[in-house]
Structure 1
Amino acid sequence: MAGERRLQDAQVTHDPVAFPGSHQSYPWMTLPSWTIPRPVSLNASSHGDDEGPLIQAIRSGDADKVRDIMMSVTNPRSLMGPNKDGWTPLHEAAYYGQIDCLTILLAAAPWMINSKTLKNQTPLILAVSRGHLACMKYLLKNGADPGIPTTSNDTPLYEACATFNVQMVQLLVQYGADVNQKCLDGWTVLHEAVTQNNQEICEILLDYGAMVCSPNLYGVTPLFLAAQCGCVKVLKFLLKNGADINSEAKDGATALYEACRNGHTEIVELLLSQSADANRPGKDGLLPLHVAAKGGSDGIVSMLIPTTSKTKIQQSGISPLHLAAENDEDDVLELLIQADFEINAVLAPKHSHMYEDRRITALYFAVDNSNIEAATMLLEAGADPNLDPFNPLLLAVRKDHVEMATLLMEHGANVNASIPTHPTTFPACVMLSVRNLTMLKCVMDHGGDAIACFQCEYNFSVDQILFDLLNEQLEIYDSWAHIKEKSTLPKCLMQLCRLRIRQLMGTERLKYISTLPLPRRLIEYLNFKQQK
């Protein structure tokens, strides 16, 4: 990172660099332009084929030749003019760290010590960016101004922090560099030192008056950055020196929120030990526990559960269970269930309306992801499979997920649930499974309303269509020949009686038919195990 942040050679282009753990969904989580590597655009005469002998001598560090060239002309000033990009020989000498050449040039033109390129780059900032300590010292001793920013608001002190140069930082502040001068987007040199996790530089800056809680344009403080980047050592230092642990960025996120979002377990532990507020929501209404659950940080979730208010969770309109289930974070889901979070908590309308199917339960997310383990945990903990507008069972049937559908029906899912947007007397589960006989058999075994398939209020011959479809499918499965035989007419009286008895018993009581105090042959008869 340090090398990328330095001023680079001409005509080099770079892609933006992101902070560790940064996300593009928030403006304060993208790097402002001043953190992108900044190439120095040197002109053709400095780096091209038409460069003059003076520039060549400076580049090679030939101080004697530079002196001879300067003495060979009546007016040395004529050699010190800028090229088309504003670069002078003095800038060249500072950039390449040629201290002897710099001394000669500055003696000939001392008034140029703070001369600027078209990008407002002074010889001092070029020397700092390239790590040329001797050139920097000489320029400062001869009156170079350490507070002149570039057009992108970079300062020599910022460049020294970006390149981890403690000696340069110390020297610059001693010569009066402003430790609170704002760079692009309101960032200070302390922000930069924090992102580098450099406590030594942070100490120097604070000794010279750096504001520990200074926010940038997005309300991001140095403490927030330390939490975002996982800089434990610097975070401890900032807290010790008065940083506000609960300061918020403009979107309401706190340092704790950000540490949770990036999965920095040690940072979260430190912040909580210093009484960070775990119940401060961001502007989206989510708490740190929400973002930790979404990210699958089970260690962080374990730390947050005791300190998070369930009332605040309820007020947010979304449970961590929803986020864990949606993102297939089964370990987190198990932790939340064990902590007695409301298993049937429903999404508030503002969250539910984000989904076309208007889902509201954590169970629905698990079914939608075909996550049988998560669905099992939720159902065994008491999840109601009949709360969502579009029944999760219909979703499982539509996905041809027989295991999931069976699990839901065994836990009380309404096998005769209808599709809310298409109300009809025809059973929805049958309609969705009519071409999957395994699923259809499963539905019927769990109480699917077969009679309703043959009761069309619009006098449409649904019964014949269904019968034809079933026969078509039954032809494919040789092992189901006996079922096809049952479907043919006429039906014997014994079969009709059996169907009537089962109908009168109802779906729920049929589950316990084998426990009835009846003769074994009668139970087998009712369970279709005895044909005669």
Structure 2
Amino acid sequence: MAAARLSAPGSTGNSVAFDDYSLYSNLSDDELMQLAIERSLAEAHSSSSDSTKTISMQNKPGTSVRGPTTSSRPPQQQPAPAACPANPPRNMTDICSVSHFTTGYGKRMVAYRSYDGSLQVEPEPEEVVEPIVKAIWNGDVETMKELMKRHDVDILKANKFGWIPVHEAACHGQEACLKILLRVQPGMINKRTLKNYTPLLLAVSREHVACVSCLLERGADPDIANKDKETPLYKACERENPEIVAHLLNYGAAVNKSCIQGWTALHEAVCRNHLEICEMLIKAGAKVNTPNMYGITPIFVASQSGRLEALRFLVKNGADVNSQASDGATALYEASKNGHDEIVQFLLSQNADANKPGKTGLLPIHIAAQRGNDGTDLLRFGSTSGNDKAVNIVSMLIPATSKARVRRSGISPLHLAAERNRDEILEILIEAGFDVNAMLSEGHSKMYEDRRSTALYFSVINNNIEATQMLLEAGANPNLDTFNPLLVAVRQGCFRTISLLIEHGANVNAYIPTHPTSFPAAVMFCMKYLSLLKYLMDNGCDALSCFNCFYGNNPHPPLKTTRTRHVYDDRNDNAPRTCVQFCEVISTEKYSRWAGPIIDVILDYVGNVQLCSRLMEHLDSYDDWANIKEKATPPRPLLQLCRLRIRSLIGTHRLRSINKLPIPGRLIKFLNYQERIQEF
């Protein structure tokens, strides 16, 4: 099927493009075109008024430089739409809607529907070109001279774009035609088009050096800008043409004029790393610290785009390496952000300040710590060396960055490196002595729903075991965050992370402040994973709190489900209990089928307890759970009570390293509930 795109002017949704062919794979080319036309006309018809029907005669916009073909001409001004009469005559020439589209071969077509309902598709009528213009396009000097002798030929007559023959000659590099036209009418040398293009600006845009020289020699003004305030000198730098730049400067072109965005010719030359043009501009008086409308100076442009040669040239000529853009970013910040390690090295050698924050408060080391080997950086750096560049940049910034200034920023590079899984950068920052327990400021913490605060939390929630281990071994405290990282790891079911956190002192009895429970929150997250539940109990999780029920043996009121939690509907108590109980959680549909095994595991870590009436209901619901109910009936075996007493005397912290205690092996196995494991 032909790769054509059919679209109606002003329409964004009713188009059939190459990506949509899977939806219309059974249609022929003609059927596909018919479908697009029908949709276009239907949209045009539905948007018209009931009393007035509008004919939209839009043309496809082109470039700002006119050429011999339609696609190379400047955009056509949109004429005011003509309204159809309220009661139009019913004949074949009257139409109710018009749509323009371009085929896949670039041919412009017009489609319209007559009032009798028939659909008409025709090639769009070509614009009539004056004979003198055709002669200029072809460089036919003799024909042009003959035409100029005729009284009906006006060389000052402009077309709908405001172009006269002198513009055509300058645009197409016809120097001989240009000289003849200026000899006949020298006053039109600075004539402007509707977009304020002079013949000189057109010649510069098309890099016709001979025409540029001809116009300048005859007095063309080198400082007349177009509607975007782009001067011929600006265009010459944009086209990277030093010969034209030299011509313009020799004829007094203003070197510091800015375009509508505030960019000067020097900005353009630096952006393209063209040292020859930069040198000419500086010698002509170009200012090296001129900012654009966003406060961006040429040195900022060089650092942002990685133009090392241009940067050295600017610094040599007095550019301020510590200039800041409107958002506070410096050249060093931009170089760090875009992974230009050579630029960073050079700026630091020129005493660039690594402690100047932007308006966000971030320093260059912050933005560098985020960079690494993810997909975005691969696109930016072009290879997997992007991570190496980021590591190099961070290594260079560490000695130049004040740790006190980092603390005042309210966020550590460790946070950003951990958040983006930049393990190599994280390791470098840890070795450099950055505080692994640094907390996010309140403003930064509020940006996250869970109010995270530490770099360790970022690593745990990313399930990054290597980063978690690095931070814990460096002294990270696992109990600083509002929502304990251990609860995150339990919720994810990552046993390796859980064991690391517990080995380094994580609180197995942590609670969730916003959702209070009468038992450790970790139990709630691992009820379906009995081995994990047992591991938490082995390491000191409070099992007894699971059986402290508010109602005890009394009947429990029915559960009332809310969006955030389950609460008891107690008619005798005006203040409903907001603290969730164990029996309440285990009674939910999600866990009720596991109630027996869960209770069985937890009973191994308590002494004489009384099960509440709701837990007893669960145990009575399955015959296979009768032995669990019997196990819970007091009194508990003396062996069990002794084990619990010894474990409480040893303490939770020493239980984690019980294998290193100077006690017999059999006792260790007994305390770890491993006495039934056979020795081989």
Q: TM-score range by the shorter chain?
A: 0.7 to 0.9
Give the one of 65, 70, 75 matched to 2:148: 70
Give the one of 117, 126, 135 matched to 1:57: 135
Q: Please name the residue that 2:104 is paired with.
A: none
CA distance in structure 1 between the aligned counterparts of 2:290 and 2:314, rounded to whole angstroms? 12
Q: Please name the residue that 1:489 is paired with.
A: 630
Give the one of 341, 359, 378 matched to 1:265: 341
Q: Note if contact 1:344-1:384 (Cα within 8 Å) is conserved in structure 2.
A: yes
Give the one of 501, 521, 527 matched to 2:646: 501
Q: Please name the residue that 1:3 is paired with.
A: none
**Alignment partner of 2:651: what SS?**
helix
Give the one of 183, 205, 211 matched to 2:259: 183
Q: Please name the residue that 1:250 is paired with.
A: 326
**Do the aligned partners of residues 301 and 39 (structure 1) sit closer, same or farther apart at CA in structure 2, a change above 3 Å counting?**
farther
Q: Note if contact 1:435-1:473 (Cα within 8 Å) is conserved in structure 2.
A: no
Q: Note if contact 2:538-2:672 (Cα within 8 Å) is conserved in structure 1.
A: no
**Do the aligned partners of residues 408 and 111 (structure 1) sit closer, same or farther apart at CA in structure 2, a change above 3 Å counting?**
same
Letter in 2 for 1:304: L
Structure 2 unaligned residues grouped into runs of 5+: 1-59, 65-71, 79-124, 373-389, 557-580, 599-603, 606-624
Whether 1:161 aligns to 2:195 is: no
CA distance in structure 2 between the aligned counterparts of 1:515 and 1:503, rounded to whole angstroms? 17
Q: Note if contact 2:528-2:594 (Cα within 8 Å) is conserved in structure 1.
A: no
CA distance in structure 2 between the aligned counterparts of 1:69 and 1:43, rounded to whole angstroms? 29
Greater mean alpha carbon deviation, residues 103-112 or residues 488-497: 488-497
CA distance in structure 2 between the aligned counterparts of 1:328 and 1:198, rounded to whole angstroms? 38
More strand by share: 2
**Do the aligned partners of residues 211 and 492 (structure 1) sit closer, same or farther apart at CA in structure 2, a change above 3 Å counting?**
same
CA distance in structure 1 between the aligned counterparts of 2:597 and 2:647, rounded to whole angstroms? 27
Q: Please name the residue that 2:174 is paired with.
A: 98
Q: Please name the residue that 1:327 is paired with.
A: 420
Q: Equivalent residues in 2 for 1:84-163 (5 A)? A: 84-163=160-239
Displacement of 1:473 in angstroms is: 7.3
Whether 1:522 aligns to 2:667 is: yes
Q: Note if contact 1:42-1:87 (Cα within 8 Å) is conserved in structure 2.
A: no
Q: Note if contact 1:453-1:462 (Cα within 8 Å) is conserved in structure 2.
A: yes
Q: Please name the residue that 2:404 is paired with.
A: 311
Give the one of 458, 472, 478 matched to 2:594: 472
**Do the aligned partners of residues 465 and 309 (structure 1) sit closer, same or farther apart at CA in structure 2, a change above 3 Å counting?**
closer
Displacement of 1:499 in angstroms is: 3.1
Greater mean alpha carbon deviation, residues 515-524 or residues 254-263: 515-524
Displacement of 1:467 in angstroms is: 9.2
Letter in 2 for 1:362: A
Q: Please name the residue that 1:40 is paired with.
A: 74
Q: Equivalent residues in 2 for 1:347-366 (5 A)? A: 347-366=440-459
Q: Equivalent residues in 2 for 1:292-441 (5 A)? A: 292-296=368-372, 297-441=390-534
Q: Please name the residue that 1:240 is paired with.
A: 316
Q: Please name the residue that 1:29 is paired with.
A: none
CA RMSD of superposed structures (Å):
2.6
Displacement of 1:471 in angstroms is: 7.0
**Alignment partner of 2:370: what SS?**
helix
Displacement of 1:502 in angstroms is: 2.4
Q: Note if contact 2:257-2:264 (Cα within 8 Å) is conserved in structure 1.
A: yes
**Alignment partner of 1:11: what SS?**
coil
Letter in 1 for 2:291: P
CA distance in structure 2 between the aligned counterparts of 1:436 and 1:524, rounded to whole angstroms? 23
CA distance in structure 2 between the aligned counterparts of 1:424 and 1:85, rounded to whole angstroms? 76
CA distance in structure 1 between the aligned counterparts of 2:661 and 2:200, rounded to whole angstroms? 95
Query: Of the two structures, which has the highest relative contact order with CA contacts closer than 8 Å and spacing of 6 or more?
Result: 1
**Do the aligned partners of residues 42 and 13 (structure 1) sit closer, same or farther apart at CA in structure 2, a change above 3 Å counting?**
closer
**Alignment partner of 1:186: what SS?**
coil
Displacement of 1:258 in angstroms is: 0.9
Greater mean alpha carbon deviation, residues 268-277 or residues 496-505: 496-505
TM-score, length-scaled by structure 1: 0.87
**Alignment partner of 1:295: what SS?**
coil
Q: Equivalent residues in 2 for 1:194-205 (5 A)? A: 194-205=270-281
CA distance in structure 2 between the aligned counterparts of 1:269 and 1:515, rounded to whole angstroms? 51
Give the one of 367, 386, 396 matched to 1:291: 367
Bigger CA radius of gyration? 2
Letter in 2 for 1:132: H
**Do the aligned partners of residues 471 and 102 (structure 1) sit closer, same or farther apart at CA in structure 2, a change above 3 Å counting?**
closer
Structure 1 unaligned residues grouped into runs of 5+: 1-9, 15-37, 477-481
Displacement of 1:436 in angstroms is: 2.4
- The sequence identity of aligned pairs, in percent, is 53
Structure 1 residues 83-142: Cα deviation after superposition (integer angstroms, max 9, x where no partner) = 111011111111111111111222221110100001100011001000111111111111
**Do the aligned partners of residues 234 and 401 (structure 1) sit closer, same or farther apart at CA in structure 2, a change above 3 Å counting?**
same
CA distance in structure 1 between the aligned counterparts of 2:241 and 2:516, rounded to whole angstroms? 72
**Alignment partner of 1:194: what SS?**
helix
Structure 1 residues 378-422: Cα deviation after superposition (integer angstroms, max 9, x where no partner) = 000000000001101111111222221221111111011000101
**Alignment partner of 2:292: what SS?**
coil
Q: Please name the residue that 1:31 is paired with.
A: none
